[in-house]
Amino acid sequence: MYIVLLGPPGAGKGTQAQRIASATKLVHISTGDMFRENVKNQTELGKLANEYMAKGELVPDEVTIKMLLERISRDDAKAGAMFDGFPRNVVQARALDEALKSNGTRVDHALLISVADAELIARLGGRWICRNCGKLYHERNDPPKTPGVCDACGGELYQREDDRPEVVRARLEKQKPPAALIDHYRAAGVLKEIDGERSLDDVTASLLEAIR
Ligand code: AP5
């Protein structure tokens, strides 16, 4: 089963993808995490991606699609995957469709998580992430037991560079899922919209129900 999670920055895609991947055993593929790993390791791809990420812009399609196609060619994505942050536009969606078609598969579910801007700003401003295992927290909504320390692995928590208020503003202006992308999946008959302004557990339950 192949699932794409759509939604604006801060909608909860990463949090829910971690939960759904764990419940379904699907591999979680996050293009944002892949770019951040490259930035951390100071690869050529990371240096290029960071020029765009720091401004709240999308990394160019040819770079992103190449990275994604390489990732899904690996064995752990042959039986299915949970995509988080990909695709962002119709060009990327078509590239994914083509790649899956050549394996005789397709996107089975496109789940759009909807959240209003005021809530997105509050979520991004309070987000903390484990440097070691990537688990996501929110200082008010989903805090760790000990501030600054990951419950799961004891790792140090940090805040993303692109969660600074001026970058968040740019991301919300430029990175909401475009209508054409939503229409692409609606036309394919696989789109479901989920109200993301509920508790973490309620959103997870709706997403799991949608893919049953
Ligand atoms: P990416 O990492 O994908 O960032 P994003 O899409 O902006 O999404 P976020 O990770 O910020 O938010 P999220 O929806 O995952 O929310 P989260 O679960 O963390 O991409 C980063 C950058 O990489 C992009 O800006 C771009 O430059 C580049 N990039 C990536 N993919 C690309 C692509 N395909 N093409 C081109 N460029 C690409 O939750 C947020 C916070 O809210 C957390 O603190 C969480 O605890 C809290 N929260 C979540 N759900 C709830 C809830 N129900 N109630 C209360 N709090 C909640």
Walk me through the domains of the chain, giving residue ranges and CATH numbers.
Answer: 2-116+176-211 (3.40.50.300)
Q: Which of 36, 123, 135, 171 is catalytic?
A: 171
Q: Cβ distance 9 to 172 under 8 Å?
A: yes
Residue 209 Cα to ligand 1 middle (Å): 22
Q: Cβ distance 132 to 144 under 8 Å?
A: no
Question: Tokens standing for 95?
Answer: 């590239």
Which neighbouring-strand residues pair with 8?
Answer: none
Percent of the chain with pLDDT over 70: 100
**35 touches ligand 1 (CB under 6 Å):** yes
pLDDT score recorded for residue 25: 95
Q: Which of 160, 164, 186, 198 is catalytic?
A: 160
* Residue 145 known to be catalytic: no
pLDDT digits (tens, 9 = 90+) for 147-198: 999 999 999 999 999 999 999 999 999 999 999 999 999 999 999 999 999 9
Mean pLDDT over residues 43-66, rounded? 96
CA-closest residue to ligand 1 atom 39 = 12
**Using 50, 70 and 90 to split pLDDT, how confident is the model at 66?**
very high
* Residue 140 known to be catalytic: no
pTM over 0.75: yes
pLDDT digits (tens, 9 = 90+) for 94-125: 999 999 999 899 999 999 999 999 999 999 99
What 3-state class would DSSP assign to 137?
A: strand
Spatial distance between the Cα atoms of 176 and 179, rounded to a whole number of angstroms: 9
pLDDT score recorded for residue 207: 98
**136 touches ligand 1 (CB under 6 Å):** yes
